[in-house]
Structure 1
Amino acid sequence: MKVLHIHELDIGGGAETVFNITRKNYLVEKNYSGFINKNNYDHSDIRFKSYENYNFILRPFFYVFSINNYIQLNKFLKINNVDIIHLHGFIGSLSSSILLALRFHKKRNTIKIVQTFHDFHIACPNSLLFDYKKEIICEKCLGKKIKLKMLTTSCERRGYFYTILKSVRSFVANNLLNHKKIIDKFIAPSNLMKQKLIEDKIEEEKISLLRNPILLNEIKYEKKSDIITYYGRISKEKNIYFILDAFNEWKIKSNNNFKLFIIGDGDEKNSIEKYAINLKFNKDIVFYNFKEEKELFDILKEVKYLFMASKLYENAPMTLLESISLNILPIVPDLGGMKETVQDVFQFGKIYEKNNIESFIEQIEEMETEYLSELEKLIKRKSFLFENYGVEVYYKNLFNIYSDLLNKN
């Protein structure tokens, strides 16, 4: 069995972590990888290019359809015989040209195509079921055959020009190229994602629930300090202003010794740092730039709690899964994949009412009171989680999905 794995990038956030794990599945005979190579230490088998590589005039066209990426994927598939093509994220930087190349090759041979969804781009032209203008969850396009509602709302974070581009891109992918018919099996990492795909008129039998793998990091138990953290992308939808306000208010009410670590980069970083300076307990708020895994985990090993506050659903946050190895207890809002992971998968940690500071304070105070028992729950549950959601199990389940598809020929 030969598998070609396609994703936009090989470095970044949770989607890139899952992509990198997936393309190293040793159970298959041969793994090929296609991504935009921005690093010298890794190798892409296909010379993909981002729309950002082109000048200002050409960039919008390649955002919707990249001729280069169509040609390069076609070229690779003519030379190399593959059995499975496993897509991850492609619509953003690689464009819908990927779908046209795949449709062409499906007509000529027996390849099967799988896609793991890390966002909702097939159901939502804006990818996240989120209106950036109103800063609310938005499902106006969900279930619609032609998804042009965003043209009336300008929900894209960069304004109306990109709203138009994403609407056109969605129409090309969904209506002209028929994205849903090209894919033989959709992989949903959460029940939330599975349900949204079903609501978008994808047949349930074409969807497999396969949760993202939990990594076992060989880090010994460390004595914890009074530290709470958020790490990841620093952007509006992650609701970091709420994290700062909630932390500051908790400090005022309980006069505790906790510090807050904000780790990551993003377009809101400077604004958030300026905002934090004006808070009463600004000296207890520490900002770090993006860190590679080893350096990141070295900072996180003393952290007690992971604090998430996203305004959008999230799918299956890798930050939650990574925190398990480090014995970090989660505190998350009652929303989407964050709630599902803590409530259904972990069965430890705390869930607060979204955007409610009093609810957050109540939950974190309970966590502090019950810290040793919650930590014991985590440690006892950890072996079960690795046995059922570890990388080895993930590889076996994925291999079974591939095999089932090929056996249908």
Structure 2
Amino acid sequence: MVKNVVIVNDTACVCGGDSQVAMAAVEALRDAGLNVTYFAGTGQPDPVLEDVPKMVVGKCTFADDPFKVRGALRGLWCLETKRALTTILADFDPSDTIVHVHSWTHALSPSIFAAIHQAGFRAVVSVHDYFVACPNGGLFDFQQGAPCCEEALSRKCMLRNCDKRSYAQKVYRCVRYSLQRRALSKLDVSYAYIDEFVEKIVSPSCGFAPGYVLENPVTAFASACCDDTPGEDRDGFLYVGRVEREKGVELFCEAVYEGGFSATVVGDGSRLEVLKGRYPDIRFTGWLDARRIVSLYGTHKALVMPSLWFEPFGLVALEAQMTGSLPVVVPDESGIAPLVSLQGTGLLFERGSVESLKAAMCRLDDDTLLASLRASVRENLNQNINERSGRAYAVRAIRVYDQILGS
């Protein structure tokens, strides 16, 4: 039976979906009575970690290291990280301890898997993205702006210039992926897929390693922030997320422009200034904190998640629904699409199609349809909050941990 969990994550602060989940997991597992220790590569520790034993190894991500060559070498295999994690694990017994890894590519490196293996522990790797199946982590060709399904490290994969930055960076990522795959092959590892969509895509790359669907916890805003603004008084569409090509924000802006809709884009990223100049009628807010985002949920008719890549889940879409009032428009090929379809809480469109997205947005001019979708969101509100609560996550996670330790 599990007693201890060592959570491993690139950062000790919330700066993305994986770290947000890692912090929620800390709270949930601690409240469930487990001894939780947190190991990170960088970042000022979040307040959630105040009373949690922790170690933060470095001062910055590998990409932000002022000595670029040193940062690049550490990104491939960081001996400092390996030694530090080995020291942490020396205080635990492998028979009642699970090491749960959430992310490692930005500030830890694949050396963590060697440390876990050599110390004799079993590990769970949460699959928040596609780094266990793809060198660039996205199953996405960032040059072409389309998904890529080449087998990792195959000849076609190696020759394809799919990286955000350059082909040289792609080669670097392939070297790192090779080291990662070798380290994982020696480790007693199980994979925690965040939904069945991700499991279907990634599991073929994981060989015979056990896999479990472990749905992430989601923060529920509804109890404090639910807005009762009538549907007819809501105006425009809302995008919340990174302003990057793979997130489909340009697809969203083009659909807004062609359809003559009003819209707000919340978030920061490399495409922000370009899009602000190209679409002057769209409101771009830049980064906003959670409270200000929630206030926007109450004034827009729907949230649009226009991702071009295979969006593993779409945390923001469920968060928006948990206001109790906001329907969503999501790609048909995404982790959250089956839930939206099953509950009738939004509309689906063909991933990557401006015309399909525009048509879905046009449908929401129908006040009757919009009211029906909002009613469905409210009908499913309590179920979604309960199933995605920290308490429910802890029950699911502990069940997985016990199965692994008992096998």
Scaled by the length of structure 2, the TM-score of the pair is 0.88
Alignment equivalent of 2:86, drawn from 71, 74, 86: 74
Q: Distance in 1 between matches of 2:56 and 2:388?
A: 33
Q: Classify the secondary structure of the residue corresponding to 2:88.
A: helix
Tell me which residue corresponds to 1:308.
305
Alignment equivalent of 2:359, drawn from 356, 359, 362: 362
Query: Does the alignment pair 1:122 with 2:124?
Result: no
Deviation at 1:317, TM superposition (A): 1.3
CA deviations over 1:204-257 (Å, ceiling 9, x no partner):
7x1111222232222233315213111111111112221111111111xxxxxx
Tell me which residue corresponds to 2:34.
29
Q: Classify the secondary structure of the residue corresponding to 1:7.
A: strand
Tell me which residue corresponds to 1:214.
218
Residue 135 of structure 1 aligns with an amino acid whose one-letter code is: G
Q: Classify the secondary structure of the residue corresponding to 1:271.
A: helix
Q: Classify the secondary structure of the residue corresponding to 1:23.
A: helix
Tell me which residue corresponds to 1:48.
57
Q: Distance in 2 between matches of 1:194 and 1:167?
A: 22
Q: Classify the secondary structure of the residue corresponding to 1:31.
A: strand
8 Å CA contact retained: 2:41, 2:81: no
8 Å CA contact retained: 1:222, 1:302: no
8 Å CA contact retained: 2:347, 2:360: yes
Q: Counterparts of 1:179-258 in structure 2 under 5 Å?
A: 179-203=184-208, 206-217=210-221, 218=223, 219-223=225-229, 225-251=234-260
Computed over aligned residues only, the root mean square deviation of the Cα atoms, in angstroms, reads 2.1
Q: Distance in 1 between matches of 2:39 and 2:318?
A: 25
Alignment equivalent of 1:298, drawn from 278, 295, 299: 295
Task: Check 1:169–1:324 CA distance in 2 against 1; reply closer, same or farther (3 A cut).
Answer: same
Deviation at 1:352, TM superposition (A): 1.4
Q: Which runs of 5+ in 2 are unaligned?
A: none
Q: Distance in 2 between matches of 1:40 and 1:358?
A: 44
Q: Counterparts of 1:10-409 in structure 2 under 5 Å?
A: 10-24=13-27, 25=29, 26-39=31-44, 41-42=46-47, 43=49, 45-49=54-58, 50-51=61-62, 52-81=64-93, 83-106=97-120, 111-142=121-152, 146-147=153-154, 149-175=156-182, 177=183, 179-203=184-208, 206-217=210-221, 218=223, 219-223=225-229, 225-251=234-260, 259-277=262-280, 282=281, 285-326=282-323, 327-344=325-342, 346-369=343-366, 370-408=369-407
Residue 381 of structure 2 aligns with an amino acid whose one-letter code is: K
8 Å CA contact retained: 2:147, 2:309: yes
Task: Check 1:96–1:149 CA distance in 2 against 1; reply closer, same or farther (3 A cut).
Answer: farther
Deviation at 1:180, TM superposition (A): 4.4
Q: Distance in 2 between matches of 1:73 and 1:54?
A: 24
8 Å CA contact retained: 1:180, 1:202: no
8 Å CA contact retained: 2:247, 2:307: yes
Q: Distance in 2 between matches of 1:123 and 1:359?
A: 29
| Residues paired across the two proteins, number | 385
Deviation at 1:375, TM superposition (A): 0.8
CA deviations over 1:95-132 (Å, ceiling 9, x no partner):
111111111111xxxx3211111111111111111111
Q: Distance in 2 between matches of 1:18 and 1:138?
A: 26
Task: Check 1:183–1:267 CA distance in 2 against 1; reply closer, same or farther (3 A cut).
Answer: farther
Q: Classify the secondary structure of the residue corresponding to 1:351.
A: strand
Q: Distance in 1 between matches of 2:371 and 2:405?
A: 49
Residue 130 of structure 1 aligns with an amino acid whose one-letter code is: F
Deviation at 1:140, TM superposition (A): 0.8
Q: Classify the secondary structure of the residue corresponding to 1:58.
A: helix
Q: Distance in 1 between matches of 2:354 and 2:148?
A: 23
Deviation at 1:193, TM superposition (A): 1.2
Q: Distance in 2 between matches of 1:195 and 1:181?
A: 23
Residue 338 of structure 2 aligns with an amino acid whose one-letter code is: E
Q: Classify the secondary structure of the residue corresponding to 1:298.
A: helix
Task: Check 1:358–1:40 CA distance in 2 against 1; reply closer, same or farther (3 A cut).
Answer: closer
8 Å CA contact retained: 2:310, 2:334: yes
Q: Classify the secondary structure of the residue corresponding to 1:93.
A: coil
Task: Check 1:7–1:27 CA distance in 2 against 1; reply closer, same or farther (3 A cut).
Answer: same
Deviation at 1:81, TM superposition (A): 4.7
Residue 270 of structure 1 aligns with an amino acid whose one-letter code is: E
Deviation at 1:347, TM superposition (A): 3.3
Deviation at 1:360, TM superposition (A): 2.3
Q: Distance in 1 between matches of 2:9 and 2:244?
A: 22
The sequence identity of aligned pairs, in percent, is 18
8 Å CA contact retained: 2:305, 2:314: no
Query: Does the alignment pair 1:3 with 2:5?
Result: yes
8 Å CA contact retained: 1:115, 1:183: no
